[in-house]
Amino acid sequence: MRAVVQRVLSASVTVDGTTVGAIDSPGLLVYLGVTHTDGPDEIAWIARKIWALRIMRDERSASDLDAPVLVVSQFTLYGDAVKGRRPSWTAAAPGPVSEPAYDAVCAELERLGAHVERGVFGADMRVESVNDGPVTLLLER
């Protein structure tokens, strides 16, 4: 499982002209990618890591500040562009595997106490954000 985590001042996801998820205060924007072997251990680990990372201002975590989290599914995090000019997506899990994992990460974040906003799995989304810092980290397990 891979996640790109950005500290943001605000972020939103729009699908077909309609905002489907938004955070309007400092929080985290998370792009989440799932591979074929991801299971409950990876889901629990990445949710805990996202919620507890001390990347907010003054070395605090989203959990310390009760900061919102916007999670966007992002299969392209498993794109491989080493050979040729066209990326390969074979490392990305297919929808029937990755959608339940995406939902489980969001649910685990909520169980931990996060206010979670979401994109729409598999949709063509427009993501807007105001990165703060900028702070961007790649998590992988």
Q: How far apart are CA 100 and CA 39, in angstroms?
A: 10
pLDDT of residue 128: 98
SS3 114: coil
Say which of 6, 35, 37, 76 is annotated catalytic.
76
Per-residue model confidence (pLDDT) at position 45: 98
**What are the residues whose beta carbons fall under 8 Å from the beta carbon of 97, sequence distance 6 or more?**
34, 36, 38
pLDDT at residue 25, as a whole number: 97
Domain count, the chain: 1
State residue 126's pLDDT score. Answer: 98
- Convert the pLDDT of each residue in 81-115 to its tens digit: 999 999 999 999 999 999 999 999 999 999 999 99
Told to judge if 19 belongs to the known catalytic residues of this protein, a careful annotator would answer no
The predicted pLDDT at position 2 comes to: 98
Q: Average pLDDT per run of 10 along the chain, which is 141 residues long?
A: 98 98 98 97 98 97 98 96 94 96 98 97 96 97 89
Which distant-in-sequence residues (6+ apart) come within 8 Å of 38 by Cβ?
Answer: 1, 93, 97, 101
49, containing H or E segment: helix 40-52
The enclosing domain of 122 has a CATH number of 3.50.80.10
14 in active site: no
Identify the active-site residue in 35, 75, 90, 136.
75
Single pTM value for the model = 0.96
Tokens of 105: 């990460």
Can you read off the two tokens belonging to residue 35? 């591979």
pLDDT of residue 125: 97
Q: How far apart are the first and last CA of the chain?
A: 5
List phi, psi (to 5°) of 101.
-65, -45
Q: Domain of residue 32: give its range.
A: 2-140
- Annotation says 35 is catalytic: no
Among 74, 90, 121, 136, the one annotated catalytic: 74
Distances in Å between the Cα of 49 and the Cα atoms of 62, 90, 121, 122 are: 10, 26, 22, 24
Residue count of the chain: 141
